[in-house]
């Protein structure tokens, strides 16, 4: 199996039980999450050797975090203990037409305040096969932008595969325009890009999809192919992968996923899913994709594996997927969801 490294923040997620609102709650479920962490946790469960570059505070919450990392088999050789805040977020799970809501409280966290000089990156990519980053970390501070860029470049120069999940979060950027500019500058250091927004394409002044009239769900697949080809060319990407969710008034989605490689746009069937927890599903997709690409099989199989992880995570409570290769295979090769006994 492969050695996968990532950079990202570990957040404590605090959420009212069931479908309560914060105003109704007097207990909060607590667990850990964070986009890159979620990707690594799934990869570890699928058998890979994973490590996270991060900073956690040197207090009881830091110790709580360490035990969590141990339990998920996430290597801590690049975890620094420093500062006194663990980033956290409050998550109010929606129901039907009531949207889920995330309130971040991650500013000034130990990770937020980290500087390049805090780390020893000399041998950081030793034996590493894959390096994964998301667009969240560079959105946090200028310094973290630089650290992200530094590591992506270094990985690229060492021949380590780099995946970059754009992961646009409106509340972390000043403007969509700013996100587009800054994220686009990083894409060129990646081999695999997850997501197609927000990305700068030559000559456009607004977002790509608006410019070219690309609407979600992606019905115009010719246009879609045209756009991803442009992106791949402009940013020299080996693969571009992305998902599509359609929802109605129910706690249900129609899911679909796409993978562009060597001029071909692979796609899955549209499949329905009921949602237990929506958070971390994109990360599960990315983990499945990395797992699939690492196994060097057919692109379609890599995409289906990513899709299986993606679907499965919708049925698991919490940020972190709980999945085995056996679960993935069952989804890939069987249609029965009957009780197993």
DSSP character at residue 191 = S
Integer Cα distance of 335 and 215 in angstroms:
31
Q: Does 249 bind a copy of itself (CB under 8 A)?
A: yes
Q: Does 262 bind a copy of itself (CB under 8 A)?
A: no
Is residue 308 a contact partner of residue 328, using CB atoms and an 8 Å limit? yes
Q: Does 26 bind a copy of itself (CB under 8 A)?
A: yes
Integer Cα distance of 130 and 255 in angstroms:
27
Question: Between residues 149 and 197, which has the closer beta carbon with respect to a copy of itself?
Answer: 197
- Show contacts with a copy of itself in window 185-244 (CB under 8 A): none
Q: How far is residue 98 from each of residues 15, 150, 278, 297, measured CA to CA in Å?
A: 16, 41, 13, 41
- Show contacts with a copy of itself in window 90-119 (CB under 8 A): 90, 92, 94-105, 107-108
Q: Which stretch binds a copy of itself (CB under 8 A): 116-124, 198-206, 221-229, 318-326?
A: 318-326
Binding mask 35-64 for a copy of itself (x = CB under 8 A): ------------------------xxx-xx
Q: Does 25 bind a copy of itself (CB under 8 A)?
A: yes
Integer Cα distance of 5 and 113 in angstroms:
21
Is residue 165 a contact partner of residue 287, using CB atoms and an 8 Å limit? no
Q: Does 273 bind a copy of itself (CB under 8 A)?
A: yes
**CB of residue 189 vs a copy of itself: minimum separation in angstroms?**
26
Question: Between residues 81 and 188, which has the closer beta carbon with respect to a copy of itself?
Answer: 81
Q: Does 145 bind a copy of itself (CB under 8 A)?
A: no
Among 47, 67, 146, 329, binds a copy of itself (CB under 8 A): 67
Q: Does 325 bind a copy of itself (CB under 8 A)?
A: no
Q: How far is residue 65 from each of residues 26, 79, 89, 111, measured CA to CA in Å?
A: 23, 11, 15, 13
3 state SS of 222: helix
Integer Cα distance of 9 and 35 in angstroms:
8
């Amino acid at each position: 199996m492969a050695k996968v490294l990532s950079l990202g923040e570990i957040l404590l997620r605090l959420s009212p039980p069931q479908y309560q609102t914060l105003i109704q709650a007097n207990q909060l479920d607590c667990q850990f999450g964070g986009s890159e962490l979620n990707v690594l946790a799934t990869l570890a469960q699928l058998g890979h050797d994973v490590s996270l570059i991060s900073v956690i505070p040197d207090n009881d919450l830091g110790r709580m975090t360490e035990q969590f990392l141990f339990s998920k088999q996430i290597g801590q050789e690049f975890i620094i203990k420093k500062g006194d805040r663990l980033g956290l977020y409050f998550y109010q799970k929606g129901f039907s037409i009531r949207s889920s809501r995330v309130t971040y409280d991650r500013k000034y966290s130990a990770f937020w305040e980290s500087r390049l000089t805090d780390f020893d990156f000399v041998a950081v990519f030793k034996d590493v096969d894959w390096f994964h980053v998301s667009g969240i970390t560079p959105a946090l501070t200028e310094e973290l932008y630089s650290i992200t860029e530094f590591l992506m470049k270094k990985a690229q120069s060492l021949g380590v595969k780099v995946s970059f999940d754009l992961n646009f979060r409106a509340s972390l950027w000043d403007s969509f325009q700013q996100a587009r500019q800054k994220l686009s500058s990083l894409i060129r250091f990646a081999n695999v890009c997850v997501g197609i927004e927000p990305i700068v394409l030559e000559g456009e002044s607004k977002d790509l999809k608006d410019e070219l009239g690309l609407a979600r769900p992606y019905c115009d697949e010719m246009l879609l192919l045209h756009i991803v080809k442009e992106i791949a060319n402009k940013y020299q990407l080996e693969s571009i992968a992305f998902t599509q969710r359609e929802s109605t008034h129910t706690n249900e989605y129609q899911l679909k996923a796409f993978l562009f490689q060597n001029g071909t746009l692979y796609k899955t069937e549209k499949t329905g899913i009921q949602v237990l927890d929506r958070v971390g599903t994109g990360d599960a997709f990315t983990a499945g994709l990395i797992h699939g690409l690492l196994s060097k099989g057919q692109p379609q199989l890599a995409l289906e594996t990513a899709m299986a992880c993606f679907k499965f995570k919708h049925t698991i409570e919490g940020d972190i997927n709980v999945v085995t290769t056996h679960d993935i295979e069952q989804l890939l090769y069987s249609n029965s969801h009957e009780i197993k006994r």
